[in-house]
């Protein structure tokens, strides 16, 4: 099975200016009827998202939860999202140990998981270091582009 490294798209840490920015983005979200806004100001990058599923009559993704992802908490919780469609695996093979567990410390660039697509195993790396607070998907679960996979506390 071929391996291919893929960098993950992550969100940088915060400053107090970011909180104000977030509040403004939050109201813009409603005003414009958008589902998400992402802004980079200087070295602050903020993303505000609305909960998925406004009047949706059908389930929206293959088994994915619909989390309210608002990366605005002062404790700098960072969401690692799937950069591609495929099947999520916690380890490099069925018999290997998972790359990470909840509670583990991880470094920037460390492999967190595999997403397999068309028989190609893509290593997904952490773009920031920190502690893995939560693993949001199950081993072998199909994931879509942008689906939240891990919550990492970037300050610990």
Partner 1 sequence: MFHKVLIANRGEIALRILRTCRELGIRTVVAHSTADAHSLPVRLADESICVGPDDARSSYLNIPAIISAAAITDSDAVHPGYGFLAENAAFADVCRACSLTFIGPMPEAIRLMGDKAQARAIARDAGVPVVPGSEAPLPGPGEAQRVAERIGYPVMLKAAAGGGGRGMRVVREGEDIGQALAACQSEAGAAFGSADVYCEKFIEGARHVEVQVLGDRNGMRIHLGERDCSVQRRHQKLIEEAPAPALLPETRAGLHRAALLAAGAVNYVNAGTVEFLVDPDGRFYFIEMNTRIQVEHPVTEVITGIDIVREQIRIAAGEPLGYRQEGVRFEGHAIECRINAEDPDTFVPSAGRITAWVPPGGFDVRVDSHLAAPCVVPPFYDSLLAKVIVRGRDRAEAIARMRRALAETVIEGVKTSIPFHLKLLSDPAFASGAAPLLSQASGATPPLSQATHDPSRPHGTR
Q: In angstroms, what CA-CA distances link 103 with 37, 47, 73, 130?
A: 30, 24, 19, 10
The answer to the question of residue 51 lying near partner 1 (CB under 8 A) is: no
Residue 11 or 76 with smaller CB distance to partner 1: 11
The answer to the question of residue 61 lying near partner 1 (CB under 8 A) is: yes
Residue 59 or 109 with smaller CB distance to partner 1: 59
Q: What CA–CA distance (Å, rounded) separates 38 from 60?
A: 22
Piece of 10-18, 54-62, 91-99, 103-111 that binds partner 1 (CB under 8 A): 54-62
Of the chain, the end-to-end C-alpha distance in Å amounts to 35
The answer to the question of residue 54 lying near partner 1 (CB under 8 A) is: yes
From 117, 120, 124, select the one nearest 149 (Cα to Cα). 124
The answer to the question of residue 98 lying near partner 1 (CB under 8 A) is: no
Residue 65 or 74 with smaller CB distance to partner 1: 65
| Interaction residues for partner 1, span 99-118 (CB under 8 A) | 117-118
């Amino acid at each position: 099975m071929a391996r291919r490294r893929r960098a993950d798209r992550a969100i940088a840490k915060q400053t107090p200016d970011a909180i104000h920015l977030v509040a403004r983005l939050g109201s813009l979200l409603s005003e414009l009827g958008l589902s998400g806004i992402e802004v980079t100001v200087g070295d602050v990058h903020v993303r505000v998202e609305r909960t998925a599923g406004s009047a949706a009559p059908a389930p929206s993704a293959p088994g994915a939860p619909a989390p309210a992802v608002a990366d605005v908490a002062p404790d700098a919780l960072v969401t690692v999202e799937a950069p591609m469609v495929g099947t999520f695996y916690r380890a490099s093979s069925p018999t290997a140990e998972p790359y990470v567990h909840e509670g583990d410390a991880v470094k920037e660039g460390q492999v967190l998981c595999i997403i397999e697509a068309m028989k190609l195993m893509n290593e997904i790396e952490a773009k920031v270091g920190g502690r893995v607070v939560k693993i949001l998907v199950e081993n072998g679960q199909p994931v879509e582009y942008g689906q939240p996979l891990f919550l990492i506390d970037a300050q610990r």
